[in-house]
Amino acid sequence: MKKIRVRYAPSPTGHLHIGGARTALFNYLYAKHHNGDFIFRLEDTDIERNIENGEASQLDNLSWLGIIPDESPLNPKEQYAPYRQTERLAIYNAIKEQLIQEGHAYECYCTPEELQAERERQEALGLAPMYNRELISEDEKLARKNSGMKPSIRLKVPENKVYEFKDLIRGDVKFESKDIGDWVIVKSNGIPTYNFAVVVDDHSMDITHVFRGEEHISNTPKQLMLYEMLGWDKPEFAHMTLIVNEERKKLSKRDETIMQFISQYKDEGYIPEAMFNFLALLGWSPEVEEEIFTHEKLIEIFDAERLSKSPSMFDKNKLKWINNRYMKELSEDKYLKLVKPFLVEYYDCSNKSENWLNLLLLLYKEQISYGKEIQGLVDIFFNDEIKYNENCVEVLNWETTPQVKENFKKQVVTSESWDEETIKNCVKAVQKETGIKGKQLFMAIRVMVSGSEHGPDLTQTLLLLGKETVLNRLGE
């Protein structure tokens, strides 16, 4: 059997976003599961929209996720290089000439304005917009050619053909050639279009399987006709579900309800292994009931048959939950390293000791979902003013609360030191002297010193708050 070769081929028009990352991930998992190769190739034919660092950014973010290509522009394999489409122009050109020679392609001298007008005309008539071979007359074409106008090259779509393929995810899909207009394979600037270049590249790079987004399904017949004209074997296709937002619309880069880019998750203190895990569950489900898997385990159990057909909604809560699971598994060192920068960046920590900061952070390790979440979570340790919400007011109004307050204050004032042991004894003393215990006691103290009925362990909280602050908050 042929070695499995798959590819992720982004255009460097932006940074790695969720959809791209997932496409890369599934290709990667499929390849690794079958001991194949995962290739990174650049589809940089849209020169105008390419951004600086686009390639590096894609590669960096991929590698942050733990997806390392076996071949890329940075580690090419000689027989397949180069890996950037703009460096493969001569290859496409030769094929283009061949197609023209064989009568499969021709020069087109229509202007963008004419094409646009034609499209609008067809739409107004309720027709599917499609290229019209008779848009301009033969004489006009010749005149334009002689005036030195650069043509685009269009593929002559065969008549009455049915293009059929077996999609690994969707099963049999077929398109009729009559619904497809002659399409541009080489733009007038001499650069091939995606649908043309992708076929040439997939073939010459021995790509065996193509996992891509559903938005490409209607591109497939265009590519199939090229394989047929050129007499090449086609790869297997698998069209994955779209990722949609809460409105069930395809995730667009402008969507602000969801962070689109992998780098944003990195910047907010998410864990790469957790993202990897989460992404794998976006449109795919394992046979077993667990949902937390290591990188290696995912490679082992990945099965393309289990890719979903219906759109997957990006569930932010699920991501948070998965990330929290990974957070708990982190060693204390790694945890501190991940979260501390977010703490220091947001709060004034200049008069706090390293040890104090560490203890504080560790208090939240079990409940925190991602690094940046620490911001706002620990306000009570940094802000002098505390606000009491409605539930807290209720606690403050318990008839036992004033007693707890006075007695606890007395215990704290008379305590000689401020350590865990002392604090526990203070609380115990209050219980002994007032007879108040349980929630009436603990919750009252918690609310008085923190302004919230939720928070970390009370003793630890009091300890880190410090004796002075505790007394201040107990009032006068």
Partner RNA sequence: GGCUCGUUGGUGAAGUGGCUUAACACAGCGCCCUUUCACGGCGUCAUUCACGGGUUCGAAUCCCGUACGAGUCACCA
Subset of residues 364 to 383 that bind RNA, contact rule: CB under 7 A:
366-367
Alpha carbons within 13 A on the beta-carbon side of 97? 5
Q: Rule CB under 7 A: say whether 161 interacts with RNA.
A: no
Q: Rule CB under 7 A: say whether 124 interacts with RNA.
A: no
Q: How far is the CB of 78 from RNA (least distance, A)?
A: 24
Out of 250, 405, 410, 473, the only residue in the binding site for RNA (CB under 7 A) is: 250
The answer to whether the beta carbons of residues 453 and 447 sit under 8 Å apart is yes
Residue with tokens 């034919």: 45
Name residues whose C-beta falls within 8 Å of residue 189's C-beta, 6 or more positions apart in sequence. Answer: 47, 150
Q: Rule CB under 7 A: say whether 159 interacts with RNA.
A: no
Q: Rule CB under 7 A: say whether 388 interacts with RNA.
A: no
Four-residue CA torsion sign, 301, 306, 312, 318: negative
Q: How far is the CB of 366 from RNA (least distance, A)?
A: 4
The nearer residue to RNA, 300 or 354, going by C-beta atoms, is 300
Q: Rule CB under 7 A: say whether 58 interacts with RNA.
A: no
Out of 446, 462, 465, 470, the only residue in the binding site for RNA (CB under 7 A) is: 446
Out of 291, 297, 386, 415, the only residue in the binding site for RNA (CB under 7 A) is: 291
Name residues whose C-beta falls within 8 Å of residue 260's C-beta, 6 or more positions apart in sequence. Answer: 17, 18, 251, 253
The answer to whether the beta carbons of residues 471 and 413 sit under 8 Å apart is yes
Out of 193, 208, 277, 411, the only residue in the binding site for RNA (CB under 7 A) is: 193
How big is the site for RNA, counted in residues (CB under 7 A)? 94
Q: Rule CB under 7 A: say whether 18 interacts with RNA.
A: no
Q: What's the CA angle centered on 279, arms 23 and 33, to 5 degrees?
A: 65
Q: Rule CB under 7 A: say whether 113 interacts with RNA.
A: no
Q: Concatenate the DSSP letters of all residues of 101-123 into one string.
A: HTTSEEEE---HHHHHHHHHHHH
The answer to whether the beta carbons of residues 191 and 44 sit under 8 Å apart is no
The answer to whether the beta carbons of residues 406 and 469 sit under 8 Å apart is no
Q: What's the CA angle centered on 445, arms 444 and 449, to 5 degrees?
A: 120
Q: How far is the CB of 173 from RNA (least distance, A)?
A: 4
297 is catalytic: no
**Cis preceding linkage at 82, omega within 30:** yes
Q: How far is the CB of 31 from RNA (least distance, A)?
A: 20
Q: Rule CB under 7 A: say whether 135 interacts with RNA.
A: no
Catalytic residue among 253, 316, 334, 337: 253
The answer to whether the beta carbons of residues 244 and 314 sit under 8 Å apart is yes
Out of 8, 10, 22, 381, the only residue in the binding site for RNA (CB under 7 A) is: 10
Q: Rule CB under 7 A: say whether 92 interacts with RNA.
A: no
Q: Rule CB under 7 A: say whether 245 interacts with RNA.
A: no
Buried b (16+ CB within 10 A) or exposed e, 439-456: ebbbbbbbbbbbbbeebb
Q: How is residue 407 written in tokens?
A: 């007695």
Of 305-324, binders to RNA (CB under 7 A) are: 305-306, 308-313, 315, 317-318, 321
Q: How far is the CB of 351 from RNA (least distance, A)?
A: 26
Alpha carbons within 13 A on the beta-carbon side of 425? 12
The nearer residue to RNA, 57 or 241, going by C-beta atoms, is 241
The nearer residue to RNA, 78 or 139, going by C-beta atoms, is 139
Q: Rule CB under 7 A: say whether 283 interacts with RNA.
A: yes
The window from 71-79, 133-141, 300-308, 386-394 that contacts RNA (CB under 7 A) reads: 300-308
CA 147/CA 69 separation, integer angstroms: 47
Q: Rule CB under 7 A: say whether 100 interacts with RNA.
A: no
Q: What's the CA angle centered on 163, arms 161 and 166, to 5 degrees?
A: 155
The nearer residue to RNA, 357 or 423, going by C-beta atoms, is 423
The window from 24-32, 248-256, 262-270, 466-474 that contacts RNA (CB under 7 A) reads: 248-256
Of 29-48, binders to RNA (CB under 7 A) are: 43, 45-46
Q: Which residues are catalytic?
A: 253
